[in-house]
Amino acid sequence: MKTALSHSVLPWIVALAPIPMLAFAGDSAPIEVLYEVTLDIDHDGKSDRAVMVREPNGQADLYIYLGSGDEKLDLTKEPAFLKKLTAQVVAGLESTGKGSLVVTYGCGGCSNDWETTLTIVDRGGEFLVAGFTFDWDTRYDMGRCDINFLTGKGVLSDGVGGSKPIKGKFRPIRLADWSDDKSPDACDVDG
């Protein structure tokens, strides 16, 4: 009898054994919504939604949902645009009221504080980095580099000497191509 019971239980053990592993595999930390704003980024008269989320691995991603600004946020819905933006601390996401989106991230409270601000616009169905501002406050100096890619002009300021125009022309960068490695050399505080 003991042998018959063992043989009848064994198939159930084999069948149920993968279930805890599947639950464990799906047991990852949830995506955390950091900020969300509604705006009309594509200027079509419909409300759009932009959302900054923190992935379980620490990566901060920007989701843009076109025409979904009046709907309840549903992160399972595929966004019109998704950009893995930064692993830094996201300090804000806001709309300028003119259809531009402003994302701020960096390291505040560090021994060397810095903050990057991107202004994102839609031009002809393409999301572009239209503006870039880099602020820093280190043990040795402080300053700001501000580039308007739409006008092609920039200004560099240091903490004590005022500001001066940056020589050169700047063009908008596709948001899909953006990375902190693509920030303008003129804003490199290390030299």
Reply yes or no on whether the pLDDT at 152 is more than 50: yes
SS3 breakdown of the chain: % helix, strand, coil, rounded to 5?
A: 15, 45, 40
> What is the rounded CA–CA span in Å between residue 154 and residue 43?
26
Is the Cβ–Cβ distance between 87 and 59 less than 8 Å? yes
Q: Model confidence at 142, in pLDDT bands (50, 70, 90)?
A: confident
- Give the side-chain half-sphere CA count within 13 A for 167: 0
Is the Cβ–Cβ distance between 49 and 68 less than 8 Å? yes
123-152: average pLDDT: 91
pTM of the model: 0.79
pLDDT digits (tens, 9 = 90+) for 168-181: 888 889 999 998 88
pLDDT digits (tens, 9 = 90+) for 153-171: 999 998 777 888 988 888 8
What residue spans define the domains of the chain? 30-181
- Which residues are CB-contacts of 17 (< 8 A; sequence separation ≥ 6)? none
Reply yes or no on whether the pLDDT at 53 is more than 70: yes
